């Protein structure tokens, strides 16, 4: 008998169909990858198992956990089930923990809720769970608070909470999406280890095909609430039949069509730039310590080139971006664009700023929700000291694949991918020479990401744009850049042509970074519908 068997599960919320006849089963000791883009219903499937559904949700079909009918169980039975037999790990380790409780107490809490044991016994069990999640007591005592841990360590605590009672099923909803690649690799191997030790079943939900490849025993691919393809993890990639699976696969390893940059004069020159912040004063006498976010960094971007800047969170790449835009005062060095410094005194030089624009990561917070698209897109015209004409707005919108009539709409009428197009239109409208793309495709689904990468390649050809492409996603950087810089702890540790750096990395950090990237199986000779 399967540990979890879902058959013909349909779910509607206030009459809107969310899931339609979803069937899947998970055996003990198996990792089952559930893959889909946003809105595919993958998370709702997981919440159906826990019966943690929003108001107005109605389920039909059959959902059995370890033989027990979940859909018709009462709340008391469900409470006993959650945590005890099903553990759950969420995407965001920063908000999944209570900041006011020590990590030991949080793990022990799960034990205390479900089992009638003493506080001391619960703490002992918590210790045990944390050690199994590779947080040993001598380096990570249980008296630590969440804020004293890194993102990856917090995610280990979340996993420890989920496995403390040795549940039979673990649901992991995008457990590594918010983490850096090297941390992601560690967390994934931890999950594999726990599965092998305990024989629990895991439902691993992700949007990233590469994460589950080589890890999942079974894979289910979902789209719009429907299961489109199911198969063995080892063979699905070879045997896929559904066009959507193929399209998803093609998009994941998408290579935009772009021309090599011609060697030309430097457009942006960053010379020995240092940016440091004063830390809170610890002693009454003596200067407070300083945190160096960007440490003596030098590089240049040639006109028409696409340069990648790769690094994990906290490496200083965002500070460097802001410094280039003239939004950060520098403690040393100089940044020049087209020969003129971006800072004049402590203020940004706006005549230099005209030549560059930026696209941010989050398409949902990049726009003022109270303004119409026409006004949003025209904002950079402030730098030119005039307002945009209707024609200029329309040209900018059409050049990113939107229609001129979109200018009278509000931003909430657009999807994430469309918003990112609007962000590009905003960056493009005053025809800058340099566009800084700060994780510009990281928040997008793979198929949308492929479209945006194509758009960027196309725009660069048409307008002769120079890109500084900042990302933690190495596969994206590889597909769109000519040269790449690898940044660690405020320093550039490796620099070179993209292919060279990825094929023969020299610095140990670069090697570790590239090794940690989950890889899709090699598909040479397999037709995946790529034209």
Partner 1 sequence: MRNLVLGIALTALFVLGALVSFVWTPYDHTVLEITNKLKPPNGDHWFGTDQYGRDILSMIMVGARTSIAVAIVAVGIGIGLGVPLGLTAAAWNGSVLDEIIMRSNDLIFAFPSLLIAIMITAVYGPSAFNAIIAIGIFNIPVFARVTRGAALSLWTRDYVLAARVSGKGAARISFEHILPNLMNLLIVQGTIQFSLGILAEAALSYVGLGAQPPTPSWGRMLAESQTLFMLAPHITLFPGFAILLTVLGLNLAGDGLRDLLDPKLRRVAR
Contacts with partner 1, residue ranges (CB under 8 A):
14, 54-56, 325, 327, 348, 350, 353, 357-358, 360-362, 365-371, 376, 379-383, 423, 426
Quote the CA–CA distance of 100 and 271 in Å, as a whole number. 44
Closest separation in Å from C-beta 170 to partner 1: 29
201: left (phi over 0), alpha (psi -120 to 50) or beta: beta
Closest separation in Å from C-beta 113 to partner 1: 26
What is residue 60's DSSP assignment?
E
Comparing CB distances to partner 1, the nearer of 247 and 327 is 327
Quote the CA–CA distance of 60 and 7 in Å, as a whole number. 10
Closest separation in Å from C-beta 324 to partner 1: 11
What is residue 261's DSSP assignment?
P
Closest separation in Å from C-beta 92 to partner 1: 17
Residue 406 tokens read as 């979109």
Comparing CB distances to partner 1, the nearer of 166 and 371 is 371
Closest separation in Å from C-beta 271 to partner 1: 22
Quote the CA–CA distance of 170 and 23 in Å, as a whole number. 18
Quote the CA–CA distance of 365 and 416 in Å, as a whole number. 11
Question: Whose structure tokens read 């560059």?
Answer: 356
Task: Give the SS3 label for residue 471.
Answer: strand
Comparing CB distances to partner 1, the nearer of 58 and 504 is 58
Comparing CB distances to partner 1, the nearer of 118 and 365 is 365
Q: Taking a C-beta distance cutoff of 8 angstroms, is the pair 104, 130 a contact?
A: yes
Comparing CB distances to partner 1, the nearer of 62 and 362 is 362
Quote the CA–CA distance of 350 and 325 in Å, as a whole number. 10
Q: Taking a C-beta distance cutoff of 8 angstroms, is the pair 250, 530 a contact?
A: yes
Question: Please, what is the Cα angle at 50 between 83 and 43, to 5 degrees?
Answer: 120
Closest separation in Å from C-beta 131 to partner 1: 38
Closest separation in Å from C-beta 392 to partner 1: 15
Comparing CB distances to partner 1, the nearer of 273 and 325 is 325
Comparing CB distances to partner 1, the nearer of 105 and 376 is 376
- What sign results for the dihedral spanned by CA atoms 395, 398, 399, 402? positive
Count of C-beta atoms within a 10 Å radius of residue 65: 22
């Amino acid at each position: 008998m399967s540990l979890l068997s879902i058959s013909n599960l349909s779910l509607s919320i206030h009459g809107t169909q969310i899931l339609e006849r979803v069937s899947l089963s998970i055996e003990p000791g198996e990792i089952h990858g559930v893959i889909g883009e946003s809105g595919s219903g993958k998370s709702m499937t997981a919440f159906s198992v826990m019966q943690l559904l929003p108001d107005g949700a109605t389920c039909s079909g059959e959902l059995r956990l370890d033989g027990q009918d979940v859909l018709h169980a009462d709340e008391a039975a469900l409470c006993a089930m959650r945590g005890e037999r099903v553990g759950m790990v969420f995407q965001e380790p920063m908000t999944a923990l209570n900041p006011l409780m020590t990590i030991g107490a949080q793990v022990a809490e799960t034990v205390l809720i479900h089992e009638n044991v003493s506080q001391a016994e619960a703490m002992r069990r918590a210790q045990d769970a944390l050690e199994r999640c590779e947080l040993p007591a001598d380096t990570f005592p249980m008296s630590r608070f969440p804020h004293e841990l890194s993102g990856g360590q917090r995610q280990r605590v979340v996993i420890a909470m989920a496995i403390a009672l040795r549940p039979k099923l673990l649901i992991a909803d995008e457990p590594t999406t918010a983490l850096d690649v090297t941390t992601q690799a560690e967390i994934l191997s931890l999950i594999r280890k726990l599965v092998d030790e305990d024989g629990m079943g895991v439902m691993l939900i992700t949007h990233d095909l590469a994460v589950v490849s080589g890890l999942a025993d079974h894979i289910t691919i979902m789209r719009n609430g429907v299961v489109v393809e199911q198969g063995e993890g080892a063979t699905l990639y070879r045997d896929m039949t559904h066009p959507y699976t193929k399209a998803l696969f093609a998009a994941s390893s998408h290579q935009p069509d772009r021309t090599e940059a011609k060697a030309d004069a430097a457009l942006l020159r960053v010379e020995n730039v240092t940016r440091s912040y004063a830390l809170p004063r610890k002693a009454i006498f003596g200067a407070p310590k300083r945190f160096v976010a960007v440490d003596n960094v030098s590089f240049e971007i040639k006109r028409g080139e696409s340069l990648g800047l790769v690094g994990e969170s906290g490496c200083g790449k965002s500070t460097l971006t802001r410094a280039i835009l003239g939004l950060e005062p520098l403690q040393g060095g100089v940044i020049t664009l087209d020969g003129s410094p971006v800072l004049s005194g402590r203020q940004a030089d706006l005549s230099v700023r005209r030549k560059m624009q930026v696209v941010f990561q989050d398409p949902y917070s990049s726009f003022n929700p109270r303004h119409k698209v026409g006004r949003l897109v025209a904002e950079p015209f402030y730098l030119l000291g005039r307002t945009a004409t209707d024609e200029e707005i329309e040209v900018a919108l059409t050049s990113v694949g939107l229609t001129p009539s979109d200018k009278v709409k509000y931003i909430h009428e657009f999807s994430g991918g469309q918003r990112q197009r609007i962000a590009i239109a905003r960056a493009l409208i005053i025809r800058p020479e340099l566009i800084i793309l700060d994780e510009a495709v990281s928040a997008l689904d793979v198929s949308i990401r492929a479209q945006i990468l194509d758009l960027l390649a196309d725009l660069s050809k048409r307008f002769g744009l120079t890109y500084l492409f900042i990302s933690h996603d190495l596969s994206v950087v590889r597909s769109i850049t000519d040269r790449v810089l690898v940044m660690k702890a405020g320093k550039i540790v490796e620099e070179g042509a993209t292919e060279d750096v990825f094929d023969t990395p020299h610095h140990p950090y670069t090697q570790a970074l590239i090794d940690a990237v989950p890889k899709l199986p090699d598909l040479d000779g397999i037709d995946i519908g790529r034209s």
